[in-house]
Structure 1
Amino acid sequence: MIPKDHPRYRSLMVRERLSQCAKEGIVALEGLAAHGRGEAFDYLLGERTTPSALQAARTAAALLLTADRAVISVNGNTAALATAEVGALARASGAAVEVNLFHRTEERIRRITALLEEHGVDVLTGTPERLIPLSHDRAWCLPEGIGSADVVLVPLEDGDRCAALRAMGKQVITIDLNPLSRTARTATLTIVDELTRALPNITAACSELDSGTAARLAGSLDNAYLLRAAIEEIQERLDHALD
């Protein structure tokens, strides 16, 4: 048992959740290492949503609302940590939800889909095709999902799929705690924030933005500016870390 007064209670509970989901076949073991890498960058941010991340979340909402066909791509870590948040965002934005995995097996697809559905998420199902130009299993997606999307939200992304989706002409929104990663620099829009903080911020913005404001925000997107701002926020925190 982890005492609630432990200073790292939330972080430890997240690790426990990921560990349990790994045992259940929802999270790949490699996903545990990926989470730890992200958590290290969250320390640099002060484990908080920065002003640039909040601006990026509002812009992400604008892209989702103005899309012809928006899809939220879900992997094992996202399903383990943010099922409710994914469902809320899907309802607020009108985006579809599709499971897409690097370590893909039909059993993992089934387990992750079942977990999402238990939390009221309507998950796309069907016969996947190898539509994304990649040599690994993330190439497999649904023609009526990611295959036909113009905007794809890919939380906890990897760089090669992000680049492949961009090459297909799609706008890619990613949530990545590392502003220097290949994913962050390749995406159309990067939210430098922790998953369970970022998703509710996007959802809230979806409910607040009118069509005109959403169109203006989407049209003024400058990801390079947002990444520079995130790096400056980290630098400022480091400068004052020992004050």
Structure 2
Amino acid sequence: MQGLIAQGRGEAFDYLLGEKTTPGALHAEKVAAARLLLAKRPVISVNGNVAALVPEEIIRLSEAVNAPLEVNLFYRTEERVNAIIRHLRSKGAKNMCTGCDALIPGIEHDRSKVDSSGIFSADVVLVPLEDGDRCKALVDMGKTVIAIDLNPLSRTAQCAHVTIVDNVVRAVPNIAGFAEVFGRSGKDELQKLVKGFDNEKNLADAIDNILQHLSSCK
């Protein structure tokens, strides 16, 4: 139920964006693909909504950037985690971190549990649909955080290094597609793309897109 509520909040912002990928979001998706390809230990965090909405696409992205998938839930139980792991494996996922032998500092209770060989030791983490305090905790650990969040004013959007203001059903396949193309590019080209990215400007542009869409609806 909580996942459905969270998804509904996001969908409301998608309406404000015109239910389309903006040019700014598309650029952020390119930067995300480049970041993941340049990373030494990239990891993709998966929650229940991501596993339900884009299972094949998140697996495709995992394979394109050689990043394991790790299930990380707001309301964590071993039963729920194992159900999502089984679901992803039934869709073809092979590269997965399934342990829970480490803790994210500053996060309380079971929400802090992660795999020591996955999110805990990652240098770059993609967090689709993440909550703000866990996003901040990952940043505080020194990780580069890529977030997919339809609300450009959310804590997650504001603290991530790269925020993709787009619906996860569009963003994940876009990132996967760019990663497959960029995988044939040189590191210098990817680094140039990453260095030219300004997330504050990216978020400001997203807010402008919302205002422009609202103006066009009059």
CA shift, 1:131, in A, is 3.4
The higher radius of gyration belongs to 1
Indicate the SS of the match to 2:117.
Answer: coil
Structure 2 residue 96 is the aligned partner of structure 1 residue 120: no
Q: TM-score, normalised by structure 1?
A: 0.86
CA shift, 1:127, in A, is 4.2
- What residue number does 1:110 align with? 82
- What residue number does 1:50 align with? 22
Structure 2 residue 181 is the aligned partner of structure 1 residue 208: yes
Structure 2 residue 43 is the aligned partner of structure 1 residue 71: yes
Query: Is the 8 Å Cα contact of residues 174 and 184 (structure 1) preserved in structure 2?
Result: yes
Structure 2 runs not aligned, ≥5 long: none
Indicate the SS of the match to 1:72.
Answer: strand
Query: Is the 8 Å Cα contact of residues 101 and 138 (structure 1) preserved in structure 2?
Result: yes
Alignment map for 1:9-158 (pairs within 5 Å)? 29-122=1-94, 123-158=96-131
Query: Is the 8 Å Cα contact of residues 65 and 93 (structure 1) preserved in structure 2?
Result: yes
Structure 2 residue 140 is the aligned partner of structure 1 residue 167: yes
What is the RMSD of the two structures over their aligned residues, measured on CA atoms?
1.0
CA distance in 2, matches of 1:150, 1:132: 16
Query: Is the 8 Å Cα contact of residues 136 and 159 (structure 2) preserved in structure 1?
Result: yes
- What residue number does 1:23 align with? none
Select between 217-226 and 120-129 the one with higher mean Cα deviation.
120-129
CA shift, 1:129, in A, is 2.0
- What residue number does 1:16 align with? none
Indicate the SS of the match to 1:152.
Answer: strand
Residue type at the aligned position of 2:60: A
Identity %: 52
CA distance in 1, matches of 2:124, 2:156: 16
How many residues of Structure 1 are paired with residues of Structure 2 in the alignment? Answer: 214
Residue type at the aligned position of 2:26: L
CA distance in 2, matches of 1:197, 1:143: 30
Indicate the SS of the match to 1:239.
Answer: helix
CA distance in 2, matches of 1:197, 1:127: 30
Structure 2 residue 204 is the aligned partner of structure 1 residue 232: no
Higher relative contact order (CA 8 A, sep 6+): 2
Residue type at the aligned position of 2:32: A
CA distance in 1, matches of 2:27, 2:104: 32
Residue type at the aligned position of 2:205: A
Indicate the SS of the match to 1:47.
Answer: coil
Query: Is the 8 Å Cα contact of residues 130 and 139 (structure 1) preserved in structure 2?
Result: yes
Residue type at the aligned position of 2:152: P
Query: Is the 8 Å Cα contact of residues 102 and 136 (structure 1) preserved in structure 2?
Result: no
Deviation digits for residues 148-180 of structure 1 (CA, Å, limit 9, x no counterpart): 000000000100000000000000001000001
Query: Is the 8 Å Cα contact of residues 103 and 120 (structure 2) preserved in structure 1?
Result: no
CA distance in 2, matches of 1:215, 1:92: 18
- What residue number does 1:190 align with? 163
CA distance in 2, matches of 1:137, 1:58: 33
